[in-house]
Structure 1
Amino acid sequence: MENNVIISIKGKQSYEDMEDETIELVTEGRLDPDGTEGYTLSYQESELTGLEGTLTTFQIEPERITLLRIGEVNSQMVFEQGRRHLSLYDTPYGSLSVGVSTRKMHAELGLSGGSIEIDYAIEIDHAVAGQNLFQINVREKRPILQQ
C-alpha cells in the first residue's frame, strides 16, 4: 500500500566554536510498511537542501534507522543508540569516510504518520565534525477537495 505523506524535517548542526546551524524542510514523500515491524520513509531532495537529484530513504526498524541517499550524492548512515557505525559518503567531488555515533534515537510511526528523532555525533575522516539532531514529523497528505 502506498501512503503519500507530508514530511517536516528540522535539522540542527552544532560545531565547536561556531553558531548552530538549523535547516527546516517540508516536502511530500511516501511512508510504506516494510512487511515486518518497520517502515520506509522516502522523499526527493530539492535544490533547497543542495542535494537535488537525490532520493533520501529512511528504513525504520525497532532498534535501528538507516538513512540511504541515492543520486547526485550516495551515502548510507546507520543509527543505533549507543553504537558507532562507519560508512562512505560519495559526492561528485569525492568520497569521505563518515562515522556516526548515535546518542539517542526514537521513532514512533504508524500508517497515518508519526515522528522520528535522532541525536548523533558525526566524524569525517576520523575527526569529530559536530553534533546533529534530526526531528522528523510525518502526517498523511489529505486529498484536495474538488468543488
Structure 2
Amino acid sequence: MQKNVTVQILGSQKFSEGHEDQQELSVPGTFYERNNAFTVVYKEPESVSGFEGVTTFLTAKKGCVTLNRKGSVDLLQEFQVGARSISKYSTPFGKLWLSVLPQRVESDLTAQRGRISLEYDLFVDDNFVSHNLLWVTIKEDNPHESL
C-alpha cells in the first residue's frame, strides 16, 4: 500500500577544483514496499533548475540503491559499494555518460519511515567531477498530528 510521506534530502558535493556545494529540500512523496524493496517517489520541485517536470524514484533493497529520474531528464543509476555503475543521462540539451563509484550505501527503512545514506564519487565521461554525500529521510505523513 502506498503511503503519503515527507521526503527530506540533504546533499553535499566536493568538486575536483576544491569548492563545495550543498542542497537541502523537503518535498511530498509516496512510499511503498514491494518484492523486498522500498521505493520512495517524489516530484522534483520547480525551484530546482533543470529538473522541471521530473519524477524521481529511489528504490532500496539490501546493499543496493537505485535512482531513476523520468521526465525532462532521464537517468538510471545503481549504487552498490565498490561497484562502478555507468549510465546515460539524457537532458533536453543532449546526453552525457555518468558513472558513480560508491564507498557507502546504507538504508534503514520500515513501512512508515527510514533513511538512505550514500557516499560516492561522480564521473562524467570517466573524468572525476565530485565526491558526494546524500542523505534522504522519509517520514509517513500523519493527518492526526495536526489535531
TM-score tier, shorter chain, comes to over 0.9
Cα deviation for residue 65 of structure 1 reads: 0.7
The 8 Å contact of residues 4 and 31 in structure 2, kept in 1 or not, is answered as yes
Which amino acid letter does the alignment assign opposite residue 82 of structure 1? G
Unmatched 5+ residue regions in structure 2?
Answer: none
1:35-82 CA distance string (max 9 Å, x none): x22111110011222211000001111121110000011001110011
Say if 1:83 and 1:48 are closer, same or farther in 2 by CA, change over 3 A: same
Partner of 2:18: 18
Match for 1:38: what amino acid? A
Structure 1: gaps spanning 5 or more residues? none
Write the mapping of 1:1-147 to structure 2, written as runs, cut at 5 A. Answer: 1-34=1-34, 36-50=35-49, 51-143=51-143
Give the share of equivalent positions with the same residue, in percent: 27
Compute the TM-score of the two structures, normalised by the length of structure 2: 0.94
SS at match of 2:143: coil
* 2-structure distance, mates of 1:2, 1:119: 28
Deviates more, 1:92-101 or 1:15-24: 15-24
Kindly tell me the number of residue pairs found equivalent between the two proteins. Answer: 146
Q: What is the alpha-carbon distance in structure 1 between the residues aligned to residue 57 and residue 12 of structure 2?
A: 19
State the distance in 2 between where 1:132 and 1:64 align: 17
Distance in 2 (alpha carbons) for counterparts of 1:74 and 1:129: 20
How big is the shift at 1:145? 6.8
SS of the equivalent of 1:128 reads strand
The two structures have a TM-score, normalised by structure 1, of 0.94
For residue 82 of structure 2, give the secondary structure of its aligned residue in structure 1: coil
Q: CA RMSD, aligned part only?
A: 1.4
